Structure 1
Amino acid sequence: MSELDLPQIAESQALAYVTSNDADAKLESALCDEIADHDPSAGDVTLSDAEFRTAWHHVIGGTPAGAFNFIIPTVKRPFMITNGSGETATVKTASGAAGQVLDGETRLFYCDGLDVLGLSDTTSEGGGGGGHAGALVKLTANQTIANSTNVVLSWGGETYDTDAYHDNSTNNSRLTVPSGVSKVIVSGQARWDSNTSGTREILVWKNGSSAYEGRPFQHMGAQTYLTMQSFVSPVLAVSPGDYFEMVAWQDSGGSINIESNVATWFSIQAME
């Protein structure tokens, strides 16, 4: 059986043109047809083998309550997804690597029989003139920063993650560079609890170290109300597997929190 389940002409088959016509029709469907009514309102969407084989373009709508999985069979083929659901779709097989489609995006993918590989095409206006790739992560609870101690922040939630830069469970402090990326920009922001004593710092470690060219760093005295800090790195040269962590430090004399808030976040953007 072929990946697209096309009928095969047997040796010395009578009326072979009938089988050939059937195969041509299936191939045309696989290259040209779309399924325009995928609805994740009730949860994840799982495609059947037949749905995946017979349509090139999959359109997602509905009103999901949050981000969801769009699960495809382990069939080798290219395909395209348009996401109009209002939420982020993670495109994956049952056990392989995944890609993501943000709301309003159209992305091309290839399934290699296990993993979903993202191509560069998109309708959104990403950085560098191509499709946007990167991740934006957030705290899911306040994080306590002990006095005069470097504390690595743990990001339990994702606003988006296009190419598995982040894992909410395993090493969730890290934004890790995937294959095919050679330059990135890293940025972040922290909202501290109200406390007027001492100073505040946020910085970024690369592979567990602060010793690299272009390291972002922000130091300031505590403010009368909430202390806010942010940074943006220059374009940084990277290799696949490099990872970045956001680190906080303070010397108020006691422990204080960085708040779980829309104003506290960490981001990585691929430039090349």
Structure 2
Amino acid sequence: MSSPNLAIPHIAAGQNQKEVTANDAFNKIDGRITSTLGKSWQTGDGLTWTLTTAEFQSNARFFADGTPDGDITLSIPAVRAPFLCRNATSFNMLVTTGSGTETVTLAPGDHALIYATGQNTLYAVGQTGDAASALADLTDVSAPSLVNGDFLRFDGTNWANQSAGIYSRTLLPFKGVLLRRSTNYVIPSSGAYTAIPWETASYDTDSFWDGGSPSRLTVPAGVTRVRLMANLEWQTSPTNQLIEIRKNGASVLGGGSFIVRGDSGYSNQMRNITSAVMEVAAGDYFELMVYVGSSAEVKNLDRTWICLEVVETTDQQAPSLDIGFTKTSTPSAGETLHSQIFTRAAVLPVGLTGSQAYADVTATAATSLDLQKNGVSFGSIDFAIGSNVGGFTNVSEVSFAAGDRLSVIAPNPADATLADLTIAMSATLGS
């Protein structure tokens, strides 16, 4: 007698040498929990792997690798049991019952825990895509193409590698503005705050300042948090001073302010003010406001200035990716000059902006090298008659996923003289 599913031997009543039967049972249970049975395909092998009842009952895990000619099938007997399955081939693996009425498909690289009911029904648990075998598999992670150095940011629903801070995949370029006075400026004792008008930009990365509104530093689209600092040097100091950084014409939490009273008779004083990091939206503007108890004059020296520093933006700068190759001598008709497969997502911009092409020997006739994605043309590298420098044509952005192929194909017929090519295409890593 034996167990109904895994045929583990039973000990009979009054049986001699019970330890033999018991040890056989223990060994079979041990194998069923821990043992692996694998098959390594070779080119030309049949595509079906049929497990015997004994093989299925004696192993916990079934592993397929090698180089089959197409999709493979693992056929299991009608035995009720859970088992692990791993597909390490480059084709799909179809796990099926003997009757073929139920199938679980494992894509290349998939692994799964499968439960067989013994009645032509299979249930897969933990198959890649259904469960978390990696960080990006988690249901609250939306980061399909993680790269070294990524920061994940939680938006209340998902974690994603679309960081909005100064750190993303790479350090974002600095954004900000620094303004100064070129001439002295007299502030009258008017009983009201006066906005300091600025005259010269030392730097202005994103058009924060417009001379038509000289007192304002205006936030462009995409900026979400900023910090401001300012410094004043008086030519003649007022009796009382109230200085404040204002947002959209009003006091704001974190704007920074100070008051000085009773400074009459002093000159050449300096005042410095700093804001907190403040949330902003496109179109918000900041001004340095000054209230004086008596007429005063601000110097135009380097010590009178205001600056705005961007702390956070909604965008990120994807790392660059250069794709380069050379071809010595004259290409033959239809020759593949370059071919590569991508290991991660990448994007070629419209017109391949930033790309370069050069031929040491110029073309006799206008010549175009064909750019292909997975064998389909999407653009060209163009050399005019007698020109060493080539241009690039692609009318729309082209995205490549991991596994996609980029090829550069010489024309057919070939140009008689075009030769010794050096090509560098500028791309970015995708997301």
TM-score when normalising by structure 1: 0.49
Q: Write 1 or 2 for the structure with the bigger share of strand.
A: 2
Q: Give 1 or 2 for the bigger CA radius of gyration.
A: 2
Q: Which has the higher contact order (CA 8 A, sep 6+)?
A: 1
